[in-house]
Amino acid sequence: MTYNASDIEVLEGLEPVRKRPAMYIGGTDTTGYHHLLWEIVDNSVDEAINGHATRIEVDLDPDLLGVTVADNGRGIPVDVHPKHKKPALEIILTTLHAGGKFEGKGYQVSGGLHGVGSSVVNALASELTATVWRDGKTYVQRFERGATKSKLKNEGRTSKRGTQIHFRPDPEIFGAKARFDSARIRERLEAKSYLHKGLKIVFKDEKGRREELEHPGGIVEYLAKRISESGKPPVHPEPFCLEREDTEVRLELALQWTEAPEERIESFANGIPTGNGGTHDAGLKAAIGKAVRGYMDAQNVKVKGVKITAEDIREGLVAMISVYVREPQFQGQTKNRLNNPEVAGAVEALVRTSLEQWLLEKRSAAEAILGRIVMAARAREASRAAVKEVKRKTAVSHRLNLPGKLADCQTTDPDEAELFLVEGDSAGGNAKQGRDRRTQAILPLRGKVLNAERATAAQVLANKELQNVVSALGCGLGKAFDIEKLRYGKVFLLMDADADGHHIATLLLTFFYRHMPALVRGGHVYLAMPPLYRIDAAKESYWALDDADRDRFIASLPKNAKIDISRFKGLGEMPAEDLKATTLDPRRRRALRVVIDDELATDAAMNELMGKDAAPRYTFIMENAATAAAEELDV
């Protein structure tokens, strides 16, 4: 098959819109169908935002296949464009990226920014008629599927002013069954009437029922409506309301805490609903959290036994935020999210100080809000504890699935529970005698476990010792791994300090690293380091990690003190360099520095393996003869 210049297709005019409508309206489903109407309505709203219109009328056709939108704004210009030699109305409706909203020339603030809204509607409409009342005259022009079907006509004098657009979405694009939904349209128009005080929206449905939507109270009224609809009463009588403006943004805000179990924040940018939030939403959330914490610090409020999170602070909150930005950066033509980075900081600065001051002035409201926040935090902690209890009890109740050699602990809290993997039954018996039965479980392992670095997944699953480890932990492995099902928050490898013990510990670490890496990264795996010497002085016994530790302790004793120094069996085979790797007291079971091939890992290797902040917390020792995994640290 040849491929040359003749195969390159250039789409002109509005052809790209009809070829790929989803790029412009999000899809050809019901949402995309109604998006055409929102584009036309938003153009009329832009006239109102900039003080040129006070009234918008939306009339549905009786068959729900068409709609008319009219406003009393300035009217789309109809004079001939000096460059393109066509009426401005025709250019706007037939050319992508044509409009008066660039560079702030025609509009200081607007919801439109690409100059494609009206032309996209025209391209996807089977028919569109534009009527303009301007300069005392009525002008009419008709279009079909984006193509001009009549010249601009002057149809006589009038005292009216504004623009009227009637269109019918194209069934070739949306399908023959597509229709407008009057309830959906009314809800959207009502939201517009709340957002723009002084704007009257008249809606006439397919049955001719006429309704005037006008709300002088603005978003404060809207907030009361939303709270009433929720059925959850507010916890303080008066909402917090704010109208502010700086060089970046003009803001209107109303919020109130309720007894609802979730938060509800509705955000708008330049009169357009931003269902996916954005930077204005993020700025508001940050401001609320900092204002509440600022109030708590100013009043020296301390909450015992629970940590307050940002989610606790916002639980039950109902908020309406509307911002106006000169150069909005929406995410796509459907405008579901505002992306202007400067808006977040501007909103946070405008809201934070005002809300904190309001809390200080409205002490009864502040106390009620704080009580609601503390209740949310305690409920969250109780819920989390209950979930852990259920998961732990579920795991404990299935004792038939647990290894027979496991000496389990009594606690049902994974955060307290510890599992010690020990070398052989003899070591297991000794460990059981010295353990804390409430929090510490012991699992003896027989001999050297399988080298997971060189074995297949099937071989790993078939290995009895590794099966016991997986069963005891309860969280699965590989793709089935679920950290939430982990029965023990800490897993200690308690091996002999000889070469065999090192080898077993390395094999286990390799297994965790390859099949349960989240345990290593999450700080759940520890390597126990026994001391090299026991020192008996008088009636007390002490332990020394190495020769230097022994000498320091002996020097601290009186010169005539009787001491007995015992070197633990097998420890003489441990290289001294291994002991130097630690910078923490091993008796506290803290992690070692990473040792690879008998050398301390570089900071870069540590960061790559565990993450920069977490690296020093973990233990991962590998030796030349133990496993090939040391050569493949490629997490």
Q: Which of the residues are catalytic?
A: 423, 496, 498, 500
Residue found by looking up tokens 């994974």 in the block: 414
The CA radius of gyration of the chain, in Å to the nearest whole number, is: 36
Exposed e or buried b for every residue in 307-346, given b needs 16+ CB within 10 A?
ebeeebbbbbbbbbbbbbbeebbbeebbbbbbebeebbeb
Non-local (6+) Cβ contacts of 256 within 8 A are 223, 227, 234, 236, 239, 240, 317, 318, 319
User: If you ran DSSP here, which 8-state letter would residue 345 be given?
Assistant: H
Amino acid letter for position 3: Y
Which stretches of 557-610 are DSSP H helices? 576-580, 603-610
Torsion region of 597: left, alpha or beta (phi above 0 gives left; psi -120 to 50 gives alpha): left
Residue found by looking up tokens 């302790």 in the block: 553
Which stretches of 167-270 are DSSP H helices? 171-174, 182-195, 219-230
Query: 555 is written with which tokens?
Result: 């020097």
Residue found by looking up tokens 């990226």 in the block: 97
Contact call for residues 313 and 352 (beta carbons, < 8 A): no
Would strands 440-445 and 418-423 be described as parallel, antiparallel, or unpaired? parallel
Query: Residue 378 belongs to what H/E stretch?
Result: helix 363-397
Other C-beta atoms lying within 10 Å of the C-beta of residue 433:
7
| Cα 225 to Cα 176: distance, rounded to the nearest angstrom | 37
Contact call for residues 399 and 421 (beta carbons, < 8 A): no
Which stretches of 487-529 are DSSP H helices? 499-515, 517-521
| Cα 167 to Cα 443: distance, rounded to the nearest angstrom | 75
Other C-beta atoms lying within 10 Å of the C-beta of residue 69:
20
| Cα 471 to Cα 402: distance, rounded to the nearest angstrom | 6
